[in-house]
Amino acid sequence: MISCIGVVSFLIPFHFEGSTNILVGILTTLVKRLLSPVSKAVVLLLIAVSAGGSLYDFVCAKTKKEVPEWVHRRFGVSGVYLASKIFTLVMVFLCDFRLLPEHIITASQDMVDLGGTLLALAIALSFLLSFLTDGGLMEFFGEITRPFVRPMFRVPSDASLDLIASWVGASNAAVLLSAEKFRKGYYTKREAAIVMCNFSLVSIPFCMVVAEAAKVEAYFLPMYLLLCVLGIFLAVILPRIYPLNRLEDVYVAKRPGRGESEEKNLFKRAVASGCDAAEDFSLTKVWKTGINTMASILLNLMPIGIGWGILGMLAVNYTPIFRWISWPMGWILNLLGVESAFAVAPATLVGFIDMYIPALLVTGIASVRTRFIIAALSLIQIIYITEVGAVILQENLGVDLKRLAVIFIERTLIALPVIVLVSGWIV
């Protein structure tokens, strides 16, 4: 029953106001409409609170002053992310008072509008997500997929539950979980890199944010199904080619008792695993998880994403850099028959910085199919320097910035023709 609520909320389409959408998408639309008179003010307030809280936590850490645990949990970030939050705060308030050039103000306003969407989305889904992730469904499928994990993805079969959790959870949380397991000896360098670079998929709620930003939310369900199938396809191919196949199969720590499960009765074991997880489910857990999810989106994801989004939009729209380096992608898009190929070509590469930016760059494109292609591509690329990429670079897996860029390009070039082909049937 618990998992059924999650499935109905996130995976079952409903007819609403002349289009098809999932329940969480419908709730987001209604909440956004309700909050529209105050959403901008709330977004600015949240950015200020986020920057102020993170600055306070950072200063306390430097001066050895004790800080409440809940403050550090909510606001603790690295120096780079603190700088991103402060930059966002300064930019949005200067733009709000119209103290900067008009093109910067426009970029800021677009990102603050996205913040309003994130606000509505966080409210609509935060307390429903637990019904999908904590009701035993992930544990069930984690056990069911065990026999296929090693031959398909070249990682230990006991990683199956991690792969499922990474797939439906937040990408930053998933990659941090994988990094922690690597440090504890669960994975070799090669295995950790495979998991991080292939299974830290953008979470369901964030996929909805990108779909909303690209104005293709009506096609969210088929888009997400496409991402799942294509993600598995990429996860089969990439571990077998450079650079992932060249990484060392060495552990940085030893974990006693690590091995493959030889238990029989797979389906019974999967049902038991799912039931055990469901027994731990409670409304208190839903409340705590919902608050944490909402805080993560509104106090970390939103301020950092807005700041990087402003920079990315300015770099793409007002400098020639991305137009130069994306010309080959424009040629490929044109060859594949994508409308406005060279106009949207920069959006195929700027996702290396952050997943938000590509969708924002195509909002003015008339072709729904083109917007769908760019939105789906930006979500399947996974390697975002602002999130997943930063963690991978810190873990000494043998994946430097150059190899990370190669993996990003490989995912882009392999996925793009498939997305273009399937988009013709969906849109």
In a domain, 247, yes or no: yes
Mean pLDDT of 37-51: 94
Q: Does the residue 220 lie in any domain?
A: yes
Number of independent structural domains in the chain:
1
As a whole number of angstroms, the distance between CA 290 and CA 129 comes to 8
Residue 202 DSSP code: P
pLDDT tens by residue, 206-260: 787 788 889 898 898 899 899 989 999 999 999 999 999 999 988 887 754 444 4
Q: Which two tokens stand for residue 323?
A: 């137009």
Assigned domain for 96 exists:
no
User: What domain range is 205 assigned to?
Assistant: 153-251+305-426
Q: Would you state the pLDDT for residue 343?
A: 92
In this predicted structure, the answer to whether residue 184 has a pLDDT above a threshold of 60 is yes
When mean pLDDT is compared across 26-35, 133-142, 336-345, 404-413, the lowest value belongs to 133-142
Residue 66 counted as domain residue: no
6-11 — which CB contacts under 8 Å span 24+ positions? Answer: 6/128, 6/129, 6/130, 6/131, 6/132, 6/133, 6/135, 6/137, 7/132, 7/137, 9/125, 9/128, 9/131, 9/132, 10/128, 10/129, 10/132, 10/204, 11/221
Residue 243, preceding bond cis, omega within 30 degrees?
yes
83-126 per-position pLDDT tens digit:
989 999 999 999 999 999 998 998 888 888 878 887 887 888 78
Q: What is the pLDDT of residue 171?
A: 58
pLDDT of 52 over the 80 cut: yes
Instruction: Look at residue 394 and tell me if it is in a domain.
Output: yes
pLDDT at 166: 59
Q: Does 258 map to a domain?
A: no
**Mean pLDDT within 75-85:** 86
Exposed/middle/buried for 12, CB within 10 Å: 0-12, 13-18, 19+?
exposed
39: in domain = no
Assigned domain for 69 exists: no
Q: How do beta strands 13-16 and 19-22 pair?
A: antiparallel
| Type of residue found at 84 | S
